[in-house]
């Protein structure tokens, strides 16, 4: 049996769930997990269904069989073979905590992706990446060459067939053109403080204000810097006894965790963009299992 995921977005109306489940049953499929959400504010309906094809139909046959239902409800829908790993490019500058965490999770199978390349504007992590048998691309970025540098990055995306870019602490602002070209396919991670601090050395600012919570936010990249639809967030508590360096270490740890969870949600087709927000469905049973422990 082959496992698949069906994702659906459409205007909410009566009979959608019945039509979907009925068609999948007709196609010889057994639903193993399902989640849905009606947004009363927008009138949009979102659904994610995991199922197995007990008759062994491939993706093309399933798509052909389901197409009439999609047309009847004017759905934006897609079928995904769960055995196919998403092709991902990681981008990093000089902070390597997220990169190293993702490489480890990828190596043990906890993050089932196909890392087709790592792009950096520095050389610090070339050896680490090459030692994992992953292509490394050093693309320097300056004010003068930014358009050419982004063109080179997009060429890597094209050549590798990458479906997702992950900014694993890549400290360059992407152009509006690149954000639009990869809309919904670039994930960024950054710190988030309560209250918020921006600019140089935010951890020092937080320490001086006696912040008790620091955290991280993973979101899709848009032309509005750090304001794209949020996928995942988390926080860690700080006490008066922590030093500024403690803030940095704890912040890096939560950044790595939040970024990996956001990627996990995206590659399993659990995230639906809903205007400036997202709908993020829970993980299906077994989707966190690793191929090996170390």
Round to whole Å and give the CA distance between 51 and 6: 8
Q: 155 and 79 in contact (C-beta within 8 Å)? A: no
Please give the full DSSP string across 51-112, using - where no structure is assigned: EEETT---HHHHHHHHHHHHHHTT-EEEEEETTSPEEEEEEE-S--HHHHHHHHHHHHTSS-
177 counts as catalytic? no
Round to whole Å and give the CA distance between 125 and 131: 10
Q: Give the active site residue among 72, 176, 177, 226.
A: 226
Cα distance from N-terminal residue to C-terminal residue, the chain: 29
Nearest to 272 by CA among 78, 52, 21: 78
Give the CA distances from residue 177 to residues 89, 154, 204, in Å, rounded to whole numbers and listed in that order.
Answer: 18, 11, 34
Please give the full DSSP string across 260-275, using - where no structure is assigned: HHHHHHHHTT-EEEET
Task: Cite the active site residues.
Answer: 226
């Amino acid at each position: 049996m082959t496992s698949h995921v069906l994702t659906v977005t459409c205007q909410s109306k009566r009979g959608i769930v019945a039509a979907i489940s009925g068609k999948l049953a007709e196609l010889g499929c057994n639903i193993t997990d399902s989640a849905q959400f009606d947004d009363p504010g927008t009138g949009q309906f979102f659904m994610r269904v995991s199922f197995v094809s007990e008759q062994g139909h491939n993706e093309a046959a399933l798509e052909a069989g389901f197409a009439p239902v999609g047309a009847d409800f004017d759905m934006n829908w897609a079928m995904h073979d769960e055995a196919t790993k998403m092709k991902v490019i990681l981008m990093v500058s000089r902070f390597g905590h997220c990169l190293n965490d993702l490489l480890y999770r990828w190596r043990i199978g906890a993050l089932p992706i196909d890392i087709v390349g790592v792009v950096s504007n520095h050389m610090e992590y070339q050896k680490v990446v090459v030692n994992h048998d992953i292509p490394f691309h050093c693309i320097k970025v300056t004010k003068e060459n930014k358009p050419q540098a982004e063109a080179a990055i997009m060429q890597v995306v094209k050549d590798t067939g990458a479906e997702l870019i992950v900014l694993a602490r890549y400290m360059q602002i992407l152009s509006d053109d690149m954000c639009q070209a990869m809309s919904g396919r670039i994930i960024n991670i950054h710190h988030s403080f309560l209250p918020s601090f921006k600019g140089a050395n935010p951890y020092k600012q937080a320490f001086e204000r006696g912040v008790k919570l620091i955290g991280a936010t993973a979101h899709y990249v848009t032309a509005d810097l750090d304001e794209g639809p949020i996928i995942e967030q988390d926080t860690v508590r700080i006490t008066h006894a922590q030093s500024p360096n403690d803030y940095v270490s704890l912040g890096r740890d939560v950044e790595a965790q939040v970024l990996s969870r956001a990627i996990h949600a995206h590659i399993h087709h659990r995230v639906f963009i809903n205007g400036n927000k997202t709908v993020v469905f829970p993980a299906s049973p077994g989707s966190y299992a690793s191929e090996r422990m170390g």
